[in-house]
Amino acid sequence: MDLEYTIIRSAKRRKLTITVERDRRVVVHVPVNTSEETIRQVMESKRQWIWEKTHHSKKYGESPDPPGKELVNGESALYLGRNYRIDITDTASGDIEFAQRFFVPPQIASKGPESFIGWYKNRAEEKILPRVQYHAQQLGVEYAIARIDNSKFRWGSCTVKNNLNFNWRLIRAPMFVIDYIIVHELAHLIEANHTLRFWNIVSTQIPKMEKAKVWLNENGQVLEEEI
């Protein structure tokens, strides 16, 4: 069977790397002058690895049944790695409030799980972006722009223009996982590819790197659920 993949060429790229996206797309990042034949040979040599990545049962398992359209008392929502109870009640601000549980006004609860998206995005900007700045200073690197995005297929990305993007759904993960994703992307400003040097940079900054990788492997799908 033919391998299907997308080729992305970059003048800054020094080595060929293969990425399997969260929608199972296979992307090959290569230096500008890499020949089609070289790419084909590498992809053939990695055929088994690609098959295993695109058929990972946990990463691509079926999602559980979706929740009802309207939120009700007693349901829970994930925030920074923990589930907190949802109470449907009026609030002083008229918006969702959090104090070791979620207080959600009835008019917002009637909109269902999507009513939480705005709240999550705001918390992601408040908590994730300052951590990006902190870790950049620790690593001695500079980036152009860091922002929260709505990607469904990547937790984070570093562009060739040194822009950093982070999925708002990360705010549902524990902070040590968030820090791992941040440093993973910042490390690409030092080493573009996933070399031994790259992983040494990440693990030095994030001692819980392996624990974070395991957590994402086991819980990544949960972060994508509506509530």
């990360």: which residue's tokens? Answer: 170
Q: Is residue 63, in this structure, part of any structural domain at all?
A: no
Do 143 and 126 have their domain in common? yes
Q: How far apart are CA 146 and CA 128, in angstroms?
A: 10
Over residues 183-208, the pLDDT tens digits come to 999 999 999 888 899 999 999 999 99
Residue 66 scores a pLDDT above 70? no
The closest alpha carbon to 16, from 25, 24, 7, belongs to 7
Residues 91, 149: one domain? no
Are residues 86 and 174 both part of a single domain?
A: no
Judge if 185 and 171 occupy the same domain.
yes
Question: How many domains would you assign to the chain?
Answer: 3
- Same structural domain for residues 154 and 206? yes
Range of the domain at 140: 118-223
Q: Packing angle between helix 175-187 and helix 117-139, nearest 10 degrees?
A: 50
Under 8 Å between Cβ of 48 and 60: no
In a domain, 193, yes or no: yes
Return the C-alpha torsion angle 135, 140, 144, 150, nearest 10. Answer: -20
**Residues 124 and 107 grouped into a single domain:** no
d(Cα 114, Cα 110) in Å, to the nearest integer?
10
Task: Look at residue 226 in the predicted model and tell me its pLDDT.
Answer: 64
CA–CA distance, 117 with 34 (Å, rounded to integer): 42
Q: Is 174 helix (H, G, I), strand (E, B) or coil?
A: coil
Confidence (pLDDT) at 49: 78
Do 132 and 83 fall into the same domain?
Answer: no
Tens digit of each residue's pLDDT (9 = 90 or more) over 30-49: 899 999 989 988 888 888 77
Show the tokens assigned to 203.
């693990």
